[in-house]
Amino acid sequence: MKWRDLPKILLLIPTVLSAASSSRQECDNDGTTADTTCKITEKAKQTDYMDPSKFKKLVLSFEEDESILPQLRGTIDNVISKADITAFISALPKVEFVKASGYDDDINSNGRVYAAPEGYAAIGLKELKTSSSEAYNKLLQMREHVRSTTEKALHLCPGSLYIDFTTISQKTEGGAHTPHADNCIHYFDDGVVTCDPARVHPYPNRVAASIMYLNDPGNGNYEGGQFYFANRTNHGEVEALGTVNIDAGKMIYFTSGIENLHGALPVLSSGGGGREIVEPRRLALAMWYVFDPSLKESVDDSDPNDPTEIFTLLLPESVEVTSLLQYIGTYIVSLQRKPTIGAWTVSKYGHSILHILFKDHSAMFSMNFMDPHQLTDVSSRIVVERHTDVNKRPSLQYMLQESVLLHGVLDELSKFMSDRLFDENERVSVNDGLEAARKKLPGRQAS
């Protein structure tokens, strides 16, 4: 499994989705009724809409009865008109896309190595909101239309599907996704795909997704880049029949488990055809869905997901921030198996932030390695913040392990910097900073 293949967005989402709330789904079509049965309109009844529990059973039944698979995926043309899409694309900020990157499995050593994937970047609601209100408002309309279209296509009760994450993905030359499921980490057993129960997926609650193409090869100056369904029983081979031709406004929808192993072919340059060479760029609107309303993506002004600061460490100028990030990232990766396998998952957000997610998904923390030029005042710094979901508290185990890990991180920071500081004043101020940070953490655990 390559981390880059995890649907984004562990890499992008600044909050954690909590694991596995098994709260009973209440399907109410008009937003006012709370009932465990699906109260549906006459019209909906005729087309046999399912409530979430019935739907989940249907999804699971694919193991015995493959003939239901066509009910779990499909494509729809012209979901949004070309004119609306063109208007949206031209309102999109060009430079705000965040390069996604992550950690790859090192095939030779079973450990993980730090790696940045090629040609893949994305922009989420939050970033869009601050950079273009025109694009943001258009996106809000589009996403609701895409959500309800997905719900309808899957024959789900109106109002039962909630959006847990929205992103505009941008793939440039080489950008591709190898086959993956959206709610578990898979492996192949004799060529047949299986969910690995030993590995924690960041978004186990996802039930469906939709991808809508936002530009045509001609407009984006690219070739390739098609979404495909992969063969579950043949090592995830690309299914010729499952490759979806690109057409702006066309949407693909599918349930999130191994029944719909999927990927995207690499984006290639179309060479410009004698015209001025423009970098190829393939754009799509990717959305993921859940049944649990508490996991719903926030679009409010007040952001209850705002993180809390754990500590901030000022860095002297002589410390090169990028290599420090690299060093600390590698250190945390080496601890990913402590205290148990899969305890921590590290990923990179943009070029300066590490996200460190705990296995119980009750919380995560981020480390932002800020260069002087990113700030209005001058000094570089590391800002460490804890993130939780709305109304969720970090588990006790998270709090204990976070403290252990951060004490270790401070030791490593001290090691890294003591090799590089020549100035006595810098040494004193760094040591003071490290001590102040330690005081903000609970006491070191006896090891």
Ligand X SMILES: *[C@@H]1O[C@H](CO)[C@@H](O)[C@H](O)[C@H]1NC(C)=O
Tell me the torsion sign for CA atoms 395, 370, 164, 183. Answer: negative
Q: Cβ contacts of residue 153 below 8 Å, gap of 6+? A: 74, 76, 253
CB nearer to ligand X: give 192 or 436.
Answer: 192
> Which ranges in 111-212 belong to alpha helices (H)?
125-131, 133-153
Least CB distance to ligand X at residue 71 (A)? 16
d(Cα 144, Cα 151) in Å, to the nearest integer? 10
Candidate residues 41, 233, 245, 334; the one interacting with ligand X per rule CB under 6 A: 233
- Least separation in angstroms between residue 182's CB and ligand X is 20
Stretch that binds ligand X, among 17-25, 147-155, 230-238, 362-370 (CB under 6 A): 230-238
> Does residue 23 sit in helix, strand or coil?
coil
Residue closer to ligand X, measured from CB, 133 or 194: 194
Does 379 contact ligand X by CB under 6 A? Answer: no
**Segment near ligand X (CB under 6 A), from 51-59, 227-235, 257-265, 321-329?**
227-235
Range 237-256, binding ligand X (CB under 6 A): 239, 241
Q: Any contact of residue 234 with ligand X (CB under 6 A)?
A: yes
In angstroms, give the least distance from the CB of 184 to ligand X. Answer: 20
Name the minimum Å distance from CB 239 to ligand X.
5
Q: Which residue is nearest to ligand X (CB)?
A: 234
Cα separation, 62 vs 51, whole angstroms:
18
Residue 253 β-bridge partners: 74, 210
**DSSP of 314-363, one letter per residue?**
EE-TTS-HHHHHHHHHHHHHHTTTSSSTTSEEEEEETTTEEEEEETT-S-
Using CB under 6 A as the binding rule, the residues of this chain from 59 to 78 that contact ligand X are none
Total residues binding ligand X (CB under 6 A) = 5
Residues contacting residue 280 through CB under 8 Å, at least 6 positions apart:
172, 173, 220, 221, 222, 223, 267, 268, 269, 270
Closest among 293, 241, 298, 253 to 125, alpha carbons compared: 298
Q: Among 215, 231, 362, 366, indicate the residue that binds ligand X (CB under 6 A).
A: 231
Give the nearer residue to ligand X in terms of CB position, either 241 or 396.
241
Least CB distance to ligand X at residue 231 (A): 4
Contact positions toward ligand X, by CB under 6 A? 231, 233-234, 239, 241
